[in-house]
Structure 1
Amino acid sequence: MSVINTKVKPFKAQAYKAGEFIEVTDANIEGKWAVFFFYPADFTFVCPTELGDVADYYDEFQKMGVEIYSVSTDTHFTHKAWHDSSETIGKIQYTMIGDPTGALTRNFDNMREDMGLADRGTFIVDPDGIIQAVEVTSEGIGRNAVDLLRKVKAAQYVRANPGEVCPAKWEEGDATLAPSLDLVGKI
């Protein structure tokens, strides 16, 4: 079952951010845009390249009013150890949520049950807590922060402009579409 257009379920988790352990709950995302960036495990191969890529664009996400939450089934302690020992992970300023019970990962229907690991899944959540976009790739396929930025911009545009939609490859400033009977068969 798809989680698109569903509300994020209540959650509470421990996280690592800016040299501190913090608690994160569903209340933290109320009224804000959020990206939940799930990955299989700390100290692996594709994961640090993705997390580092998102870290490189974190300021841009922040300017758009978007908070990033990376999530794996590791603990917040493991996140700190990885942050302290890896140059790539050390540049992360966003929140790294530990989900050792898998509760948050299951809330997003993103758990590989046979392994106890999160799938490589990205979820864009609007200020009402509704999931607007989902991307899940297999183990060896890394994601791209630039394309994630584009998708968030499109989601924000559609929310701010009811009656308009963003076509394929839409970039900020490009033309949009206003779905109507007149467009049927004309695109």
Structure 2
Amino acid sequence: MSLINTEVKPFSAKAYHNGEFIDVNEESLKGKWNIFFFYPADFTFVCPTELGDLADNYEEFQKLGVEIYGVSTDTHFTHKAWHDSSDTISKLNYPMLADPTHVVSRNFEVLIEADGVAERGTFVVDPQGKIQIVEINAGNIGRNAEELLRKVKAAQYVAAHPNEVCPAKWKEGEATLAPSLDLVGKI
């Protein structure tokens, strides 16, 4: 079963954010767009490049009213230690969600049970708490924050314009499509 248009399941987790530990749960998501950005583990190789890329684009996500949660099965203490010891991770301004109990990773169906770590999963959640975008990458393939930003803009656009759809490679300001019988076979 697809997770698209399903509500985020209940969870309660700690996160390291701006020098302190905070509590996050499914209710924290309501009323704004959110990204859950799962990665296998702190102190690794591809993960810091992705998290750093998100940090470099975080201001653009914030302008769109989007909060990002970097999520791994590490503890919030480990997140703090990584934040304090890595130049790349120290620039993160978004919460680093801890999932040592694997509840959040299981809820989003990205837990690699045998290894106790999460797949490289990206989930865009709308203000009603429903998942609108799901992307899973193999562990050795990093993601691109600019492409994620484009997808978020498309998701926000179609949410605000329910009678329109965004075609392939759509970018903000470009033409969309209004599905109708007249378009069938003409694209």
TM-score (norm 2): 0.99
Match of 2:61 in 1: 61
Q: 3-state SS of the aligned residue for 2:115?
A: coil
Matched, 1:133 2:96: no
Task: State the SS of the aligned residue for 2:10.
Answer: coil
Answering whether residue 171 of structure 2 is matched by residue 176 of structure 1, we say no
Give distance in 2, aligned partners of 1:116 and 1:184: 47
Give the number of aligned pairs.
187
> What does the per-residue CA deviation read over 1:82-111, in whole Å, with 9 as the maximum and x for residues that have no partner?
000000000000000000010001011111
- SS of corresponding position for 1:8: coil
Equivalent position SS for 1:57: helix
Task: Give the ranges of 4+ consecutive aligned residues of structure 1 lying more than 3 Å apart after TM superposition.
Answer: none
2:161 aligns with 161
Match of 2:86 in 1: 86
Query: 1:153 is matched by which residue type in structure 2?
Result: K
Supply the AA of the counterpart residue of 1:105.
S
Determine whether 1:112 maps to 2:128. no
Counterpart position of 1:37: 37
Which residue matches 2:151? 151
Inter-partner Cα distance in structure 2 for 1:18 and 1:81: 13
Structure 2 Cα separation of the partners of residues 10 and 30 of structure 1: 12
**What amino acid does structure 1 have at the position aligned with 2:68?**
I
Deviation, 1:114, is: 1.3
Query: Partners in 2 of 1:106 and 1:184 — Cα distance?
Result: 40
Q: Separation in 2 of the partners of 1:9 and 1:44?
A: 28
Separation in structure 2 between the aligned mates of residue 182 and residue 24 of structure 1, nearest angstrom: 47
Q: In structure 1, what is the Cα distance between the partners aligned to 2:109 and 2:2?
A: 8
SS at match of 1:44: coil
Instruction: Look up the SS of the partner of 2:123 in the other structure.
Output: strand
Question: 2: distance between equivalents of 1:4 and 1:39?
Answer: 20
| Aligned residue type for 1:95 | P
Superposed displacement of residue 177, structure 1: 0.4
Corresponding position of 1:124: 124
Superposition deviation, residue 144 in structure 1: 0.2
CA distance in 1, matches of 2:28, 2:59: 19
Map 1:15-54 → 2, pairs under 5 A = 15-54=15-54
* 1:113 Cα offset (Å): 1.1
* TM-score, normalised with respect to structure 1: 0.99
The Cα shift of 1:10 comes to: 1.0
Distance across 1 between alignment mates of 2:69 and 2:6: 18
What one-letter code is carried by the residue in structure 2 that aligns with 1:135? E
Deviation at 1:2, TM superposition (A): 1.4
Structure 1 residues 7-54: Cα deviation after superposition (integer angstroms, max 9, x where no partner):
001110011000001111111111110000000000000000000000
